Homo-oligomer: A and B are copies of this chain.
C-alpha cells in the first residue's frame, strides 16, 4: 500500500529510459520493469504513455536556483561572480543531464511540451544574467552592449562545451576540468566586456585594419 513510492519509481524509470532510448524506444514494459512494478500498474497510475511522459516533463524541471544567486553575485568581484555562475550552470546541466538529453532528442516529436520546459529555463537564465550585466553597466564596470546577447554568448560557450563533451562524446567532465574551462571562458569573456579606455585606433592597428579606408560592410 505504497502508492507514492510506486509513482516516484515509475517517473524516475521513465526519465532514465526515455533519456537513453528516446520516447519511442523506451517501451512501457521496460519502464515498468525498471521501476520494479507491473506494466498494468503503470497504466493504472498514468493512463497512457504520453501522460506519463508529460508528468516527467512537469516534474523534473531545472531548478531556478540560479535566480536567487543574483543578489550574492552583486557583492562579488566581476570575475569571481562569473566563474561561480558558470560553474553553477554547468553543474545544473550535469545534474539534469537526462532531461537535457530528452529535450534535445524529443523537440521534434513533442515541440510544445519540450519548448515549454526549455523556454522556462532559458528565459529565466538569460533574464537573470542579463540583469546582472545591467547593474554592472550602471556601475560602469563593463561597457555598453546588449545584456541579453552577452548572456547568450556566455551561457552558449558553456552549454556547447557541455553538449560536446557530455552528450556527444559521452565523457564525464570532472570538477578539475570544469573549473579550468570555466576559468578560460570567463577570462575571454571578462576582457571582452570590461569597460577599459580602448581607443578605436588602437584596436584598428592591432586588428590589422587600415583605418583610413572607408569601412565596408561585412559583405560575406
Contacts and interface: CB of A to CB of B under 8 A. Distances in A.
A168 B209 contact: no
A104 interface: yes
A63 interface: no
Interface in A172-211: 179, 181, 183-185, 187-196, 198, 202-203, 206-209
Nearest to A104: B104
Contact of A150 (B106, B149, B183, B188): B188
Interface magnitude class on chain A: 35 or more
A77 interface: yes
A122 interface: yes
Contact of A164 (B88, B122, B167): B122
B161 A152 contact: yes
Given A80-B209, A157-B160, 10 more contacts: A83-B220, A84-B218, A84-B220, A150-B188, A152-B160, A152-B164, A155-B160, A156-B157, A190-B203, A194-B207
Interface of A: 19-22, 24-25, 76-80, 83-84, 87-88, 101, 103-109, 111, 114-115, 118-119, 122, 141, 145-146, 149-150, 152-153, 155-161, 163-164, 167-170, 179, 181, 183-185, 187-196, 198, 202-203, 206-209, 218, 220
